[in-house]
Structures are given as structure tokens and as C-alpha cells.
A and B are shown apart, each in its own frame.
Chain A
Amino acid sequence: MKPFAYARPADVAEAVRSVAAEPGAVFLGGGTNLVDHLKLGVARPDLVVDVRTLTSREVLDLEDGGLRIGAAVTNSGLAADRRVRERYPVLAQALLSGATGQLRNQATTGGNPLQRTRCVYFSDVSTACNKRQPGSGCTAVGGSTRNHAILGTPGVLPDPTAPETCIATHPSDMAVALAALDAVVHVQGPAGERLVPFADLHRLPGEDPSRDTVLEHGELITAIDLPPMPPGARSAYRKVRDRASYAFALVSVAAVLPGDGGIRLALGGVAHRPWRARRAEEILRGAELTEHAVRAAMEAELVVAQPQPGVDGGNGFKIPLVSRTVVATVRDLALEARP
């Protein structure tokens, strides 16, 4: 492991200043992803700035009926919170479907959304990867693509030598739920605080696959707000994976029925970021949520899908799988609503 300096500043402002001033600096939260990347050589910082004890470990009630989650609240603490279990089941279910008990005790609210992709080529420093080493190319194209994206990619079998090619997915379950909940992220930067809608936090690869989020170097997540859920609102998270436990999603669905005739759908395991299915949401607004209607809306959503061929058979199976998973999730929520 490359040597690095370690700092535990007195407060958030000092931490932000330290990282902003040093291009080779990173924040350390629970460390479950970063420490692994230090060992693998995927992350090679000069300075590690520990913020785990600097932000709030509490979940606070907001005046509007929502919740403010401190960035240092652990994934297990958040999933166990009675208010989250009762009012935001989609979030509790997403958290509990991710990782293991040990990891959830260590992982934080601020760190979880910033974990890196589990693309095996990203983790393997001997291979080309535009996300890890910009401009080096993409080994995933045509390789093992079972865990890769079908939406927001530069095409079917994009040019593996192009600097913008990346077909990685975002691995977080929690992030999919927060995208569907229209959560809001508090971000502290050198110039002060700004708010970022959670659904806009993560980006598509675009011209620069090395950037997972819209955060600038030195910006730190200090809290995440959940908007109030009206009485009668319902939500659920459903995850499909290769093992019954402790595996990343092949596909996952966070569905929120706020009770105003609308529906909010976020998909995991299909894109470089949690994918809000806005086209399907629009089609289903005010409609009766029959299986037929949901399936048709997902067909429209997935018209732009680009399944990736691969030596492992590729990931075309994700198109029907994610569609069926949405249908099943919404059906269960509709059944729940019946008296």
C-alpha cells in the first residue's frame, strides 16, 4: 500500500479545507470501500482525512415531518430507526438488502452513496479502466458484463479504446431508495453549503467516467434529508441477485407511491447511477396500476436500453428482469393498499 498521511481535523470546515487544498487527499468515512481500495492500489491518496466522528450520528425530526440523517449515522443504525421502518420502508429494506451486518455497522450514510462501482475491471489495476485511469480504455466492453449497465451507456459494444467508454453500474442499494424518495443532500464545500437533489447526485459517464457524482473535490456530504411522507403513502424495495444474501444487485427497484396519484421508480444495477424511470413515471401518473399498465410503461422506459454482449453471455437478461421486478414490486404495493 502506498504510504499516506492521516489527519483527523477538529471540525467539518477544517476537514473540507484540508481536502480542498490537497489534490491527493480523500475523505475517510466508515472505510469499508476505501480501505479495500487502498489495499488493491485502486485508491492511492497522499492524505486521508478522517471525517467519521465529525458529522452527526443522529436522525432528527424536521418541522415539515421529514427526517434529517447525519452523515455519520451507520447503515445499520438507520435501518433500525423506528421512523425509517414505519415511514420509509423502501429505505430500510434497501439498507438491509445490502452488504452484511458487520459492514452495515461500519458503513455510513455519507459514505454509502460515494462507494465506487464493483466492476471487476475497475478493481483490477492490471486492466485498462477509464474510471480508474482516465484515457486507458474499458476492459469491460465485450468482457464479463453480467453486472454491467444497460442504460445510459455510450452504445451497444461501445469502442473499448475511447476515453469516454464506461459500462459500470453504481452498486449502492441505499442510493436507489434515496433517489426514489426525492431525498436532498447537504454538501459542505470550501465556499459554503449547498443542497443537491439526491436524484442529481450521481452522473452518467458522459465525457468523464472517472467522476461518479457531481461533487467537486473537497465537497463533503454532511447530512441527507428525507421529505415528509403523506399518511397512506407506501414504498418498497426489491432486489434480485445471484445469491440469497450478501451479493450486489443484478437489478433492483425502489418504488414509492406518495398517495397523490403519482409513482416514483428508481432502478438499481442497470446504470452508472440510480436510474429514475421518469418516462415510466410519467406514463403511469394518475393511471390504474395494473400489471399490464406497469409492463407497458416499463417497455417504454426500456426502449433506450442497450444490452451489452459479453463472454459470460452478456446482460440482455436485465431488460425483461428489471421490467418484471418493477411489475412485481408495484403489484405488491397495490395489494397492500387494498382493505
Chain B
Amino acid sequence: MDAEISLTVDGVPRRLTVDTRTTLLDALRERLGNPSPKKGCDHGQCGACTVLLDGDRALSCLALAVAHDGAEITTADGLAHDGELHPVQQAFIDRDAFQCGYCTPGQICSAVGVLDEVRRGWPSSVTPDLGADPELSHAEVAERMSGNLCRCAAYVNIVPAVQQAGAAGGPAAGSAS
């Protein structure tokens, strides 16, 4: 059964007809030709399909496209502006935070979401004091990025990359909470 929907993908408004069974991930990759979000497990366990959905990081493989008519989606492909890489993208290059690269678009979208959540003062399960604003410690980054698997195990460089991008983006905590 088909439905007509509108999505804004990386700033560009798109209209498309989708089967009600189509996930946001398949709509992006197969219908709109944006291969940036990856299909890893397709069951919400690996994070390779992570995009920013109406501003928040989300798993596009567990979202039905028809349920997100009108949504604004940013993929890793849409993070750079005027040829200048997003600070998270630059940090992943500076820190050599990938090997094969398959999980990287999801890692990068997730990291952008993590930094935004930390700026908003959101706690995690390793935040020592639920009442205090979190700091971008190694433990905080590891916990917050735990939904993004890397089979090359580049974690040892991903964590510093996220920390670097957080430091580059101004005070890591408390500015908007």
C-alpha cells in the first residue's frame, strides 16, 4: 500500500511515494539515492543507519518513512557547509577515527547528537551526579556512543575525536540547559 510523503533531506525538500512498509533508511538509500546512512544490522542494534531526525539522532532502520511525513533529516552527507567539514567530521579525520569507514556516517551523526545532548545538560547512565551538568569524559563518550558499533574497533580513536569536536564546539556542558 502506497503513501505520498514529503521529507527535507540535507536541506532539500523531496516528495516521494513509498510503500507503507518502507523504512526511512530504505527511503533515503533506495528511493532518494542518499547512500550515506548504512544498512548494517537493519534491526536497531548497530547504529550504522543513524541520522538526525528533526534534530535528534535516531535509527532510520526502525522508523517507517510514512510515519515521518514532513520530517527534516540530516545525514552525514549533509553536515558540511560551503565545503567546510563539520567539526565532528574534521575531528574524525584528525584523530584517524575509522578504518573501513562503513560505520562512520552513523558514528558521525551519533556524535553530533551526543554533543548536542551534552550541551543541553542531558545526563547518561555514567554521569556521577544526576543533578550536575555532564562533562565529556572518556566514560561519558563511550557510554553515549555505545549504540554505534565499529567492527574495525576504532573506538580508541573515536572517543578522542568526539572529545575534540566537543571542545571545538565551545563549552561542552551547561550552555543551553
Contact = CB atoms under 8 A, between A and B. Distances in A.
With most chain B CB atoms within 10 A of its CB, the pick from A92, A97, A99, A102 is A102
A80 B117 CA distance: 9
Contacts of B143: 244-245
Nearest to A237: B125
Interface string B17-28: 001110100000
A6 B63 contact: no
B175 interface: no
Nearest to B120: A80
Given A76-B122, A245-B125, A28 B64 contact: yes
Interface string B120-145: 11111101001100000000001111
Contact of B64 (A6, A76, A244): A6
Given A36-B62, A85-B130, A246-B146, A103 B44 contact: yes
A285 interface: no
Interface in A55-108: 76, 79-80, 85-86, 89, 92-93, 96-97, 99-103, 105-106
Interface residues of A, number: 36
A231 interface: no
A3 B147 contact: no
B67 A4 contact: no
Interface of B: 1, 3, 19-21, 23, 42-44, 47, 50, 53, 56-59, 61-64, 66-67, 110, 113-114, 117, 120-125, 127, 130-131, 142-147
Nearest to B50: A102
Contacts of A103: 44, 59, 62, 147
Given A1-B21, A50-B67, A97 B58 contact: no
Contacts of B127: 96
B44 to A, nearest CB: 6
Contact of B110 (A80, A92, A96, A101): A101
Contacts of A35: 23, 61-64
B53 to A, nearest CB: 8
15 contacts: A3-B19, A3-B21, A4-B1, A6-B3, A28-B67, A31-B64, A35-B61, A35-B64, A76-B56, A80-B123, A93-B125, A97-B125, A102-B44, A106-B63, A245-B146
Contacts of A136: none
A220 interface: no
B64 A245 contact: no
B123 A79 contact: yes
A245 B142 contact: yes
Interface string A25-65: 00010011001101100000000101010000000000000
B20 A101 contact: no
A5 interface: yes
Contacts of B57: 101-102, 105
